[in-house]
């Protein structure tokens, strides 16, 4: 059954085998089974094998097709819109930021790939035929190891996954790619930028519509058409992401975090955070610092 929530869903990803990692191999998902706008702490990669669609990710709407790799850093709002007449078949990886902890700095640094893409805002790359063959071979090895009955299958899976991340990191370091451009009217791109810079302040629909020189009703309709969310839900989701970063990287009090992220009050912060993540801010902080 399709989730009917308008607010982005903070999903919990069940791990495969004995690792904080999950793989969905060559999966074709019906249109009605796609999640609404959602986010999760784990990083995600999607390799498209067949079909067409679009993905909304971090202010942008990107086309998806065979040979594309979509890289989604943790805590990034995203949603896939498959073509109902040409459904996507893809392999998806979900990777916990803690996956390589304890294996040394060089092993852990393979996950910096996701942070580089977050900073560059390049979330898609198109493989050449040779690159796609190489990546497909590694993906098959990972799948075969995960489903084997051989000894040390978890460790072997981990090594093959590292090999895939190293391969992608090397591709990124030698290939220049321009950041993707948000589809839709120019005022929508400008509005998303305004929201990003005013998260800590009051951002109203009336103000955004006035800046865009359109009516509030038209603004809301077009905004949801291209992002899948209402302006209010999108602003709240971005504030939740900002608060999660502060909970993770600072020791500030909940009151300070609530105010600095633009929430009206501490109770409002607690209520919205639990609605989106399923836990209180304090419990979230404890869970990521274990």
| pLDDT tens string 80-104 | 989 999 999 999 999 988 887 766 6
pTM above 0.85, yes or no: no
Instruction: Please determine, for residue 56, whether its predicted confidence score (pLDDT) is greater than 70.
Output: yes
The pLDDT mean for the chain works out to 85
Q: Looking at the structure, tell me whether residues 24 and 153 fall in a common domain.
A: yes
Asked whether 188 and 226 are in contact (CB, 8 A), the reply is: yes
Domain that holds residue 107: 9-174
- HEC profile of 216-272: HHHHHHHHHHHHCCCHHHHHHHHHHHHHHHHHHHCCCCHHHHHHHCCCCCHHHHHHH
Q: Give dist(CA 7, CA 267) in Å, integer.
A: 18
| pLDDT tens string 131-156 | 999 999 999 999 999 998 888 988 89
DSSP letter (8 states) at residue 127: P
Instruction: Please determine, for residue 108, whether its predicted confidence score (pLDDT) is greater than 80.
Output: no
Q: Looking at the structure, tell me whether residues 23 and 158 fall in a common domain.
A: yes
Q: Give dist(CA 181, CA 178) in Å, integer.
A: 9
Asked whether 42 and 97 are in contact (CB, 8 A), the reply is: yes
Q: Looking at the structure, tell me whether residues 62 and 115 fall in a common domain.
A: yes
Q: Looking at the structure, tell me whether residues 91 and 140 fall in a common domain.
A: yes
Question: Can you tell me the mean pLDDT for 98-115?
Answer: 76
Specify the pLDDT at position 5. Answer: 38
Residue 86, beta-bridge partner list:
83
The domain that holds 94 is classified in CATH as: 2.60.120.280
The token pair at 242 is 């900002």
In a domain, 3, yes or no: no
Instruction: Please determine, for residue 263, whether its predicted confidence score (pLDDT) is greater than 70.
Output: yes
CA angle at residue 56 from 55 to 60, to 5 degrees?
115
Q: Looking at the structure, tell me whether residues 254 and 154 fall in a common domain.
A: no
The domain that holds 206 is classified in CATH as: 1.10.10.60
The percent of residues above 70 in pLDDT, for the chain, comes to: 86
Q: Give dist(CA 67, CA 64) in Å, integer.
A: 9
In a domain, 66, yes or no: yes
Q: Of 144, 174, 204, which residue constitutes the final position of a domain?
A: 174
């Amino acid at each position: 059954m399709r989730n009917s929530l308008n607010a982005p869903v903070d999903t919990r990803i069940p791990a495969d085998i004995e690792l904080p990692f999950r793989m969905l191999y060559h999966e074709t998902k019906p249109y009605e089974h796609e999640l609404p706008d959602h986010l999760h702490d784990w990083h995600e990669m999607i390799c498209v094998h067949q079909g067409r669609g679009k993905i909304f990710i971090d202010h942008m709407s990107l086309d998806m097709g065979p040979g594309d790799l979509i890289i989604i850093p943790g805590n990034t709002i995203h949603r896939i819109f498959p073509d109902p007449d040409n459904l996507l078949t893809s392999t998806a990886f979900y990777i916990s930021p803690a996956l390589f902890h304890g294996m040394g700095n060089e092993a852990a640094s393979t996950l910096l790939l996701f942070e580089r893409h977050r900073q560059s805002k390049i979330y898609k790359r198109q493989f050449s035929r040779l690159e796609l063959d190489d990546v497909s071979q590694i993906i098959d090895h990972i799948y075969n190891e995960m489903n084997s009955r051989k000894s040390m299958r978890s460790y072997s899976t981990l090594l093959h996954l590292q090999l895939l991340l190293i391969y992608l990191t090397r591709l990124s370091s030698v290939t220049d790619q321009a950041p993707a451009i948000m589809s839709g009217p120019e005022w929508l791109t400008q509005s998303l930028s305004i929201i990003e810079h005013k998260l800590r302040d009051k951002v109203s629909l009336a103000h955004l519509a006035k800046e865009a020189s359109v009516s509030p009703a038209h603004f809301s309709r077009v905004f949801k058409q291209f992002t899948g969310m209402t302006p209010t839900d999108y602003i709240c989701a971005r504030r939740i992401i900002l608060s999660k970063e502060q909970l993770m990287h600072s020791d500030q009090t909940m009151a300070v975090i609530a105010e600095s992220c633009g929430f009206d009050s501490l109770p409002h912060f607690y209520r919205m955070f639990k609605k989106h993540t399923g836990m209180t801010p304090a419990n979230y902080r404890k869970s990521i610092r274990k």
